[in-house]
Structure 1
């Protein structure tokens, strides 16, 4: 994994495969893949600590961030070859997920911009597929959302992975191993959870999957 920084001047929607049966009715199901809450994340996995998001180290995946002068991250994008996965994590209520609402708002926003979006079933539940016009031409996007305990992860695939989930490869591996550290403090629903530059990124080596810093 390569870590690069761009300086700036200024109830889960998941398939049944994500959990095994609880041993009895008094125990919560144990997820078999992520995104995981920090309380249930598997141990012994090397991850890049960005605060609220801990990204597993996967070879040949570059982590690009844009941060302000104080080190507060504004954007996180994972890149593998021609494919990219933009990640965001948001506060959610304890009682219910917010992806259904957020997905409809994204669909309406795309419609207002002249882009049609269609819902489709994916491995994490209902996704949103759209084709948008950019300065580089038409671009396909695939929006996914995963509701967790008091948080929601939103991902946006670009490249071939936007139309063919099988093309996501290592990016999907990163998503499956993602860990969310929500924290205990109260936060408004949908507020982005805080992200920061990793404290030990400069010490990571380049000869293994560990994150390596490269200024963008």
Structure 2
């Protein structure tokens, strides 16, 4: 469980005070003005601190590829991917998801177009809600499942959580759809960015581990 609290570095806070956010909410890019807050630093993602949430890293091999947030009989998977400078990935990712899940429909949500309905994981069906956000050279995919996928009241804490996420893309070259590297709060950033497979919402591949 993530329990480390992180306040933005002093130089970052000074920059944010001198330039007010141009939008009401995120997800934020690390290089744009965004509100100062206690956030958990995972390298490629800085997540808002909420003591009611159980946050865990999802890993494939020795690479951390995403985050799983557990709360109130529901879960949220978050993964940040590298995207082309010229265009976003959400339209393409939506097409891929719809090609694998036939019981989803498109609708408008707080971040624009999203997919809702049911998905099958290992032969079992469960409510699902897919949210995609295109950022500058990154793409953030959120998958809400369980009670919150079909209940707006239950989903509200997850939506607020996503709105305060900060994505740290970095300047290093990355392949299209390559997971933006994550790390545990007490680990040093290595600077390496090994390409690896991303989270597949239709399989139980990633290993989920607690952070204390």
Distance 1:159 1:74, change over 3 A: same
1:134 positional shift? 4.1
Counterpart of 1:20 in structure 2 is none
Query: With structure 2 as the length reference, what TM-score do the two structures score?
Result: 0.74
1:84 alignment partner, one of 61, 75, 88: 75
CA separation of 1:133 and 1:105: change in aligned 2, threshold 3 A:
closer
Structure 1 stretch displaced more, 176-185 or 129-138: 129-138
In 1, Cα distance between the equivalents of 2:81 and 2:145? 21
- Compare relative contact order (CA 8 Å, sep 6+) and give the higher one, 1 or 2: 1
Q: Taking structure 1 as reference, are residues 43 and 124 closer, same or farther at Cα in structure 2, changes over 3 Å only?
A: closer
The aligned residue for residue 150 of structure 1 is: 137
Partner of 2:29: 37
- Is 1:79–1:171's contact at 8 Å kept on the other side of the alignment? no
Q: Which of 196, 199, 205 is equivalent to 2:183?
A: 196
Check the 8 A contact 2:65/2:179 in 1, yes or no. Answer: no
The separation in 1 between residues aligned to 2:115 and 2:86, in whole angstroms, is 24
Which of structure 1's runs of 4+ aligned residues deviate more than 6 A?
none
Task: Tell me the equivalent position of 1:97.
Answer: 88
Which structure is larger by alpha-carbon Rg, 1 or 2? 1
Shift of 1:63: 0.4
* Contact in 1 for aligned 2:68/2:75 (Cα 8 Å): yes
Stretch deviating more after TM superposition (97-106 or 165-174): 165-174
Note the C-alpha offset of 1:137.
4.1
| 1:120 aligned residue | 107
The separation in 2 between residues aligned to 1:69 and 1:191, in whole angstroms, is 15
Matched residues in 2 for 1:147 and 1:116: separation? 24
Equivalent residues in 2 for 1:1-216, closer than 5 Å: 2-3=1-2, 30-67=22-59, 70=62, 72-110=63-101, 115-134=102-121, 137-199=124-186, 213-214=211-212
Name the CA shift for 1:195/1:126 in 2 (closer, same or farther; >3 Å): same
Classify 1:127/1:43 alpha carbon distance in 2 versus 1 (closer, same or farther; 3 Å): closer
RMSD between aligned residues:
2.5
Can you give the 5+ residue segments of structure 1 that lack an aligned partner in the other structure? 5-28, 201-211
Distance 1:75 1:92, change over 3 A: closer
The superposition leaves residues 143-198 of structure 1 with CA deviations (integer Å, 9 ceiling, x where unpaired) of: 11000111010000011211123312322221010000000112121111111111
TM-fit CA distance, 1:69: 7.3
In structure 2, list runs of 5 or more residues that go unmatched: 4-20, 188-209
